[in-house]
Each structure stands twice: as structure tokens, then as C-alpha cells.
């Protein structure tokens, strides 16, 4: 069954998968410390879900295994014809990855059900209280880089993570977690324009451009906008600097012009971006970010 699952996952486009037990995740203490030091900015929902993050089986009664999966996104950065850009993962030409990957994961559950009839599942794609990176490490998928992102040796970090929690009594062979392979490198920390990477493995979300340009509700301050360069949604600089991404780069002019975006009303925004990852920030936030970076560029 594991071989069929792996083959099907590969056919669906996943680049890696692994399995672990739903036990207290690796580095959970570091996560708790990060919260207690208020490095999570105003993402209060993280405080409310600590118990579930500590015990993945709280997300699915009777959970016996967690399958972690990695799905690639393009290394080309979405760009407007006049050179303003958004984070790679937010491709405006694709359906929002939350929905896209959930559908693919549910296709995989069919294989598990064939082997273990009556199994139950919970599929998580970046919106459930689960420590997806450390579970992926336990499943042998990759290691945590000093930029706090999961890195797959030989591939890099341009991918999404998803998890299938299941009650199926699947065999879980203990994996030796992939150890950190950063060595003496500090390129991500050096490249971070705001000092959000306070040191190896320490992210201060309140300074992170990715948080400030997507999750944060307020307006972008001028001093922050200056550090965003021409990127108005997210920030990939600590990934671009990483040698594991092999200098993969490039732009994809898939965004409308800045004039068109700034002239959109909600109806036009929904029509153009409603199904994409850009919708997460909402029209007002996107317009406000774009105005801020245009003003400073
Ligand atoms: S996403 Fe940008 S601002 Fe955030 S840690 Fe990485 S380089 Fe720094
Ligand atoms: S840039 Fe260097 S230190 Fe940072 S995650 Fe990549 S290899 Fe590790």
C-alpha cells in the first residue's frame, strides 16, 4: 500500500512524502518559547491552539499516523508588466493552494481506504493548528534551515506542505530526522532586509515582510515599504539567498498592471484573484501595499 501511495503521490505532482506518529512534535519547546517571547506578532490564534499543536491526535480522534507531503511551486516570481512582484507561492494563474492541495490529498486517501476500509482522515493544508514543518522532519522529508523554513536536500524550499492524518493502522518505521545541513552559512540571515531573522532559527514575525504584507491588518509604514523593494505581497529573500535553492529564479509576468490592480473594485478583484492565494490579503491590503511600494520605488 505504501508503494501505491507513493506512486500515486508522485503522479499527482508531490515531490516527497513521509509518515510519522502523532506524538509531541520535535522542537515543540522552542515553539512555546517563541510564543512566550511574543515573537508571533499579533497572530493570537497561535496562542489559542498550543494544545492541539502539542498533540496532533487532538485534530482527529483515533489518529494513528500523520502523512506529510511536499508539493512544489514555481521558482518564477509573479510580476506586473511594470516590474512589481508577489511571493512565488501566490501564483495568480493557479487556484489557491489550500483548495488545490486538499483535493489532491483526498485523492490519496482513496488508496488508504482501499487497504483499510472505514479509515477516517483529516487533511491539513497550512490552515490547521499543526506543526507541519517539524512533523515533516520526523517523517524524513527535510530539515529546518536557519531561515526557519523546511529544506529538502537536493530540491530546496520552494514547496508547500500538507498533511493527511488518518486512523488507518499504517506501519510507521522510525525515521532518523534529517539533520541541519546549513553548516556555517548565514546567507538568509544576512539577506533579510528587516532583521526579522534575529539569529539562526529565530524569526521575529513582527519584523517579517511576509507577515506585515499579508497577515498584518494595519498599513505598511514607509520605512518598512522601503525594505520591501518592488514586492508588494510576501517576501522570498531568505529563500532566494539559500544555496539549496540553487539560484532558481526568474519572473513570470502573470499579474495585471499596477494601474489595473489599483483601479479594481471588489467585484473585479474577486473575478481576477478570488480563487487565488492573493485573495487571502484582500483587495484593500493589496492596494495599500502596492501604493506603499510604488511610492518608495
Ligand atoms: S520573508 Fe523576508 S522579511 Fe521575512 S524573514 Fe525572510 S527575508 Fe526576512
Ligand atoms: S541560506 Fe544558508 S543558513 Fe539559511 S537556510 Fe539556506 S543554507 Fe541554511
Q: Are 210 and 235 in contact (CB under 8 A)?
A: yes
Residue at grid coordinates 500523520: 66
Q: Please identify every residue annotated as catalytic.
A: 126
**Segment 46-75 mean pLDDT:** 96
For residues 241, 132, 87 and 200, what is the CA-based torsion angle, rounded to 10 degrees?
-30
Asked if residue 186 has its Cβ within 6 Å of ligand 2, the reply is yes
CA distance 231 to 86: 5
Residue 247: per-residue pLDDT:
77
- DSSP one-letter code for 274: T
Question: How buried is residue 76: exposed, middle or buried, by Cβ count under 10 Å (0-12/13-18/19+)?
Answer: middle
Ligand sitting nearest the alpha carbon of 236: 1
Average pLDDT estimate for 269-277: 94
> With 80 as the cut, is the pLDDT of residue 174 above it?
no
Task: Decide: 65 and 19 in contact? Cβ < 8 Å.
Answer: yes
For the record, the C-alpha cell of 200 comes out as 539562526
Chain position carrying cell 509573479: 78
Average pLDDT value over all residues in the chain: 95
- Is any ligand 2 atom within 6 A of the Cβ of residue 241? yes
Strands 150-151 and 121-124: unpaired
| C-alpha torsion 215→221→225→231, nearest 10 | 20
Distance 257 CA to ligand 1 centre (A): 25
Confidence tier at 186 by pLDDT (50, 70, 90): very high
Residue 18 Cα to ligand 2 middle (Å): 23
pLDDT at 54 over 80: yes
Please tell me what DSSP assigns to residue 79. Answer: B
242 lines ligand 2 (CB under 6 A): yes
Tell me how far the alpha carbon of residue 271 lies from the centroid of ligand 2, in angstroms: 38
Q: Report the atom number in ligand 2 closest to the C-alpha of 145.
A: 5
Contact 56, 135 (CB under 8 A): yes
Q: Cβ atoms within 10 A of the Cβ of 7, count? A: 11
Per-residue confidence band for 77, with pLDDT thresholds at 50, 70 and 90: very high
Asked whether residue 248 carries a pLDDT value surpassing 80, the answer given is no
Q: Which ligand is nearest to the CA of 206?
A: 1
246: pLDDT confidence band, cut at 50, 70 and 90? confident
Predicted pLDDT at 57: 95
- pLDDT score at 197: 98
In degrees and rounded to multiples of 5, residue 9 shows phi and psi of: -60, -40
pLDDT of residue 1: 87
pLDDT of residue 262: 97
Please count the other Cβ atoms lying within 10 Å of the Cβ belonging to residue 173: 9
DSSP 275: T
Predicted confidence (pLDDT) per residue in 206-235, tens digit: 999 999 999 998 899 999 999 999 999 999
Q: Does any ligand 2 atom lie closer than 6 A to the CB of residue 21?
A: no
Query: 3-class SS at 222?
Result: helix
pLDDT tens string 129-152: 999 999 999 999 999 999 999 999
Q: What average pLDDT does this structure show over 9-34?
A: 96
Residue 201 pLDDT greater than 90, yes or no: yes
Give the tens place of pLDDT for each residue, 103-123.
999 999 999 999 999 999 999
Share of the chain above pLDDT 90, in %: 89
Give the rounded distance of the alpha carbon of 34 from its chain centre: 18
Q: Are 204 and 33 in contact (CB under 8 A)?
A: no
| pLDDT score, position 218 | 86
Cα of 179 vs centre of ligand 1, distance in Å, is 23
Q: Where are the domains of the chain?
A: 2-73+96-166, 187-296
The pLDDT of residue 234 is: 96
- How much is the pLDDT for 251? 82
Q: Output the pLDDT for position 249.
A: 79
* Residue 7 parent element (H or E): helix 2-12
Which residue ranges have their beta carbon within 6 Å of ligand 1?
192, 194, 196-197, 203, 208-210, 235, 237-238
3-state secondary structure of 197: strand
Q: pLDDT-based confidence at 178, cuts 50/70/90?
A: confident
Amino acid at each position: 500500500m505504501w508503494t501505491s501511495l507513493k506512486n500515486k503521490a508522485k503522479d499527482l505532482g508531490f515531490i516527497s512524502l513521509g509518515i510519522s506518529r502523532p506524538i509531541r512534535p520535535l522542537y515543540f519547546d522552542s515553539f512555546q518559547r517563541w510564543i512566550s517571547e511574543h515573537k508571533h506578532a499579533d497572530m493570537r490564534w497561535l496562542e489559542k491552539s498550543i494544545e492541539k499543536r502539542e498533540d496532533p491526535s487532538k485534530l482527529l480522534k483515533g489518529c494513528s499516523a500523520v502523512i506529510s507531503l511536499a508539493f512544489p511551486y514555481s521558482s518564477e516570481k509573479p510580476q506586473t508588466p511594470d516590474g512589481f512582484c508577489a511571493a512565488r507561492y501566490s501564483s495568480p494563474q493557479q487556484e489557491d493552494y489550500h483548495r488545490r492541495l486538499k483535493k489532491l490529498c483526498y485523492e490519496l486517501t482513496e488508496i488508504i481506504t482501499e487497504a483499510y476500509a472505514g479509515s477516517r482522515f483529516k487533511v491539513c493544508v497550512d490552515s490547521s493548528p499543526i506543526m507541519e514543518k517539524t512533523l515533516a522532519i520526523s517523517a524524513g522529508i527535510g530539515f529546518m534551515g536557519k531561515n526557519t523554513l523546511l529544506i529538502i536536500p537536493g530540491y530546496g524550499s520552494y514547496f508547500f506542505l500538507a498533511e493527511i492524518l488518518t486512523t488507518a493502522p499504517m506501519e510507521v518505521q522510525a525515521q532518523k530526522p534529517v539533520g541541519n545541513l546549513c553548516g556555517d552559512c548565514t546567507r538568509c540571515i544576512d539577506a533579510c532586509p528587516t532583521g526579522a531573522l534575529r539569529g539562526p532559527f529565530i524569526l521575529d514575525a513582527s519584523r517579517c515582510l511576509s507577515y506585515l504584507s499579508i497577515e498584518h491588518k494595519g498599513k505598511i509604514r514607509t520605512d518598512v515599504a522601503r525594505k520591501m523593494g518592488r514586492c508588494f505581497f510576501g517576501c522570498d529573500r531568505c529563500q532566494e539567498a539559500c544555496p539549496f535553492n540553487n539560484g532558481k529564479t526568474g519572473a513570470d509576468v502573470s499579474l495585471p498592471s499596477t494601474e489595473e490592480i489599483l483601479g479594481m473594485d471588489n467585484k473585479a478583484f474577486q473575478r481576477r484573484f478570488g480563487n487565488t492565494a492573493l485573495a487571502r490579503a484582500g483587495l484593500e491590503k493589496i492596494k495599500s501595499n502596492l501604493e506603499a511600494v510604488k511610492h518608495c520605488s
